[in-house]
């Protein structure tokens, strides 16, 4: 497989107006997707398009629609819809592919494109490669009698809301709970309040007034301080923060304290293990806190680590027959409920687990003691190559011996920048900082010599 030109680990993303995040590229991309789908499936493919609330979404939605129709594909427009909602509707409506126009937790001046296959999962490398090859060819349009058509799915929000509610038991209720939702001025602003209120909760919302420019601005899972304040001020039982496209979630307990993805994995793993619902090991990433690994081990639950990125977590879950995994950022995979990370579904899973245990989030998370974690970015030409040098290998081995059984160290090279991330975890914060700074110094020196 040749190096991909446009696709990264999670679709195509960049600054609006700069190639390839431009209207002309999206027109060509739509046509390329339509041609590839027709080649690998039915002659007249059906494609869904959803988006978050960025103002540029209108432009890219129209461009993708035109390109797909020019290739003979039928298009169904969903409007603002969380990324996992597009994945669900792609399966439910028997479409050949789903497209999400979103840059997730980034600010409004960024945007991107994500794709789902007919089964609601990320596209394979082979299909992405075929799309890139088609992008290099001349833009052509099928004869008029073969052009696709575009329609709008008016009840998309209701369909997805019903799916979310179906992931918990029929007798599950949120009556009596006061919940604050932070919708990040993003794609969940319509559906999330609907789901939680229909399940009986008393719901208040922040970050639910998108204007095209305020997505993720001082709200959402990347800026949870607003939610922490709201939960305390309103005396709520729980706060739930989504990111701009709704595939990530972070929680706030009744004390106003943040629960990130590691906390969520801990609560769900313990509850599912006790109920006999946990399959295989829990899958975290290289950045999952070492304290999570130790805490799960005390409950006879194994944690294995994947590379950073939800697609790598998904790969490990499939390889090991697991059904629970995720990232510290709050991208949680509950594979017995959804095919991709789903903020609403994950939050409901936690609430159901708490109800089963007869406890609340503040109490359920007490068994997890996170270790201090220091990450130092070493930016220098040759930083990535320095990882293979003898001085760095020796320093890494020395650090691992110093932390043996008490902590861990990770050296991770950026895939796009001359950057190495040095991460050290252990119980003693002073020791952690000292070891991290020493190892970062060795990496920097080796990079400067290379």
CB burial class (10 A; 0-12, 13-18, 19+) of residue 359? middle
For residue 3, the model assigns a pLDDT of: 66
Residue 244 confidence class, pLDDT cut points 50, 70, 90: very high
The label of the residue with tokens 């932390």 reads 403
Tell me if 176 sits within 8 A of 351, measured CB to CB: no
Contact present, 89 and 95 (Cβ < 8 Å)? yes
If pLDDT is split at 50, 70 and 90, which confidence band does 308 have?
A: confident
What pLDDT is stored for residue 1 in this prediction? Answer: 42
* Residues with catalytic function: 104
- In the predicted model, is pLDDT for residue 2 greater than 80? no
Number of alpha carbons in the 13 Å side-chain half-sphere of residue 302: 10
- Residues 287-315 have a mean pLDDT of 94
The yes-or-no verdict on residue 160 having pLDDT over 50 is yes
For residue 9, pLDDT over 80 is answered with no
Tokens of 286: 């290289």
The pair of structure tokens assigned to 167 is 């992931």
φ, ψ at 437 (rounded to 5°):
-65, -40
| Share above pLDDT 90 across residues of the chain, in percent, rounded to a whole number | 91
Task: Say if residue 353's pLDDT is above 60.
Answer: yes
- Name the pTM for this structure: 0.93
Sequence-separated (6 or more) residues with CB below 8 Å from residue 376: 421, 422, 436, 437, 440
Q: Retrieve residue 449's tokens.
A: 């010599």
What region, left, alpha or beta, does residue 104 occupy, with left being phi > 0 and alpha being psi -120 to 50 degrees?
left
């Amino acid at each position: 497989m040749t190096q991909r030109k446009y696709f990264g680990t999670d679709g195509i993303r960049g600054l609006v107006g700069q190639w390839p995040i431009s209207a002309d590229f999206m027109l060509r991309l739509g046509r390329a997707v339509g041609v590839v789908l027709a080649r690998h499936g039915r002659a007249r493919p059906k494609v869904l398009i959803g988006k978050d609330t960025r103002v540029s979404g209108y432009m890219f939605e129209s461009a993708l629609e035109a390109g797909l129709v020019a290739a003979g594909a039928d298009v169904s427009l969903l409007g603002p819809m969380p990324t996992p909602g597009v994945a669900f509707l792609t399966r439910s409506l028997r479409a050949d592919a789903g497209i999400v126009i979103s840059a997730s937790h980034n600010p409004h001046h960024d945007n991107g494109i994500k794709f789902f296959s007919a089964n609601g999962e990320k596209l394979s490398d082979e299909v992405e490669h075929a799309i890139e090859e088609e992008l290099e060819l001349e833009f052509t349009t099928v004869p008029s009698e073969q052009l696709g058509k575009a329609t709008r799915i008016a009840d998309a929000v209701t369909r997805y809301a019903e799916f979310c509610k179906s992931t918990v038991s029929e007798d599950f209720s949120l009556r009596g709970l006061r919940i604050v939702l932070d919708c990040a001025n993003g794609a969940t602003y319509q559906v999330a309040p609907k789901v939680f209120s229909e399940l009986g909760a008393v719901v208040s919302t922040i970050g639910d007034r998108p204007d095209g420019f305020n997505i993720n601005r001082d709200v959402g899972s990347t800026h949870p301080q607003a939610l922490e304040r709201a939960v305390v001020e309103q005396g709520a039982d729980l706060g739930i923060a989504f990111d701009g496209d709704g595939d990530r979630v972070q929680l706030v307990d009744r004390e106003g304290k943040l629960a990130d993805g590691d906390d969520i994995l801990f609560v769900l793993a313990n509850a599912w293990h006790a109920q006999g619902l946990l399959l295989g090991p829990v899958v975290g990433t290289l950045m999952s806190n070492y304290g999570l690994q130790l805490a799960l081990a005390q409950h006879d639950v194994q944690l294995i680590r994947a590379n950073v990125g939800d697609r790598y977590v998904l790969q490990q879950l499939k390889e090991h027959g697991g059904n629970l995994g995720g990232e510290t950022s709050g991208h949680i995979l509950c594979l017995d409920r959804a095919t991709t990370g789903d903020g609403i579904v994950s939050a409901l899973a936690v609430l159901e687990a708490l109800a089963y245990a007869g406890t609340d989030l503040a109490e359920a998370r007490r068994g997890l003691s996170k270790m201090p974690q220091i990450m130092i970015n070493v930016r220098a030409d040759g930083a990535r190559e320095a990882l293979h040098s003898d001085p760095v290998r020796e320093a890494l081995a020395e650090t691992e011996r110093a932390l043996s059984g008490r902590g861990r160290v990770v050296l991770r090279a950026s895939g796009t920048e001359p950057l190495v991330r040095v991460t050290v975890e252990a119980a003693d914060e002073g020791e952690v900082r000292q070891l991290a700074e020493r190892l970062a110094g060795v990496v920097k020196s080796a990079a400067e010599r290379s």
